[in-house]
Amino acid sequence: MGFMAGKKALIVGVASERSIATGIAVAFAREGCDIAFTYQNEKLLSRVTKLAERLHQNTDLLFPCDVASDDEIDAVFAALGKKWDGLDIIVHSVGYAPREQLAGGFVESITREGYRISHDISAYSLAALAKAGLPMMEGRNAAMLAMTYYAAEKAVPSYNVMGLAKASLEACVRFLAADLGPKGIRVNAISAGAIKTLAAAGIGGFRKMLSYARKAAPLQRTVTTEEVGNTAAFLCSDLASGITGEITFVDAGANIMAMTLDDT
């Protein structure tokens, strides 16, 4: 029996086989968790359906959800509440900024609208999911998990306004953890190293970020969605019952390094 047997999770953020959310779903399913999924739009439904089938999950538990819409978020929990009497886990693996925000200099690229959209989709949506999901999660040893990146702490070229959105997301993790702890809900984030996914492909110079990560990391490689998924499974399970409000790095150690002398 897996260490998540009996748990029920909602995973938000599957877009492809390479999505970090896919790695998380694979680990959750392996550990015996029942999973409901959302999909951002109809174009992604067939991919999410295939994943749910592959993981032997109930394909009646797939819900449309653009996190920019409070109505769609509310509809997810209304529909889920008809199928499940409670919810143990929400995974938020969502990030977005308009493409032109993720290239060139910070001052050159940033706009009021770019700032608004990136923070709305990438950070506020975690609080929105917590607000809407609370009635189903309260009092169940529940957990929420978000996906962040080191650019919340240090300036990373091209990441620009998304770095600000990730800083907001990390602060949101701490405020949610403080507020929801007394209700039995833990809230954590994983700070993943660079992984080639659809979202990452939109970041200017992403290939250079990958090769820098390989050089800088003590493990001398990048990480996989499977590795992030395994850590996510631990953090969302009762094995991590004493951990809340934390940002856990899964980046082959890259964040501990101040510099690399390797210029190849």
Ligand X SMILES: NC(=O)c1ccc[n+]([C@@H]2O[C@H](COP(=O)([O-])OP(=O)(O)OC[C@H]3O[C@@H](n4cnc5c(N)ncnc54)[C@H](O)[C@@H]3O)[C@@H](O)[C@H]2O)c1
**Please, which of residues 127-146 interact with ligand X by CB under 6 A?**
none
Query: Quick one: 14 or 177, whose CB is closer to ligand X?
Result: 14
For residue 198, state whether it binds ligand X (rule: CB under 6 A). yes
Q: Which of 195, 216, 236, 247 binds ligand X (CB under 6 A)?
A: 195
Interface residue with ligand X, options 10, 13, 34, 172 (CB under 6 A): 13
Tell me if 96 contacts ligand X by CB under 6 A. yes
Name, in order, each residue with C-beta under 8 angstroms of 160's C-beta and a sequence gap of 6 or more: 97, 101, 102, 103, 104, 105, 106, 109, 110
Counting residues that bind ligand X (by CB under 6 A) gives: 28
Is residue 68 at the binding interface for ligand X, with CB under 6 A as the rule? yes
Which of these ranges, 8-16, 108-116, 180-188, 255-263, lies near ligand X under the rule CB under 6 A? 8-16
- State yes or no: is 39 an active-site residue: no
Are 150 and 251 contacting, i.e. CB atoms less than 8 angstroms apart? yes
Token pair in block for residue 177: 């953890």
134 class by beta-carbon count within 10 Å (0-12 exposed, 13-18 middle, 19+ buried): middle
Residue 66 within binding range of ligand X, rule CB under 6 A:
yes
State yes or no: residue 165 binds ligand X (CB under 6 A): no
Q: Using the rule CB under 6 A, is 121 a contact of ligand X?
A: yes
d(CA 112, CA 90): 30
Q: Applying CB under 6 A, which of residues 33, 156, 200, 232 lies at the interface with ligand X?
A: 200
Query: Going by C-beta distance under 8 Å and a sequence separation of 6 or more, which residues neighbour residue 136?
Result: 77, 80, 81, 84, 86, 87
For residue 76, how far is the Cα from the chain centroid? 18
Catalytic, 149? Answer yes
The binder of ligand X chosen from 28, 95, 102, 130 (CB under 6 A) = 95
Contact set for ligand X, span 29-58 (CB under 6 A)? 40, 44
**Binders of ligand X in range 216-245 (CB under 6 A):** none
- Using the rule CB under 6 A, give the single segment among 19-27, 75-83, 131-139, 234-242 that binds ligand X: 19-27
Helical spans, DSSP H, in the chain: 20-30, 42-54, 70-83, 106-109, 112-119, 125-137, 161-180, 198-201, 206-216, 225-236
Contact 156, 209 (CB under 8 A): yes
Residue 49 beta carbon to ligand X: minimum distance, rounded to whole angstroms: 14
**For residue 148, what are the β-bridge partners?**
191
Q: Does residue 16 bind ligand X (CB under 6 A)?
A: yes
CB atoms within 10 A of CB 50: 12
Binding interface with ligand X (CB under 6 A) = 13-16, 19-21, 40, 44, 65-68, 93-96, 121, 147-149, 192, 194-195, 197-200
Please identify every residue annotated as catalytic.
149, 159
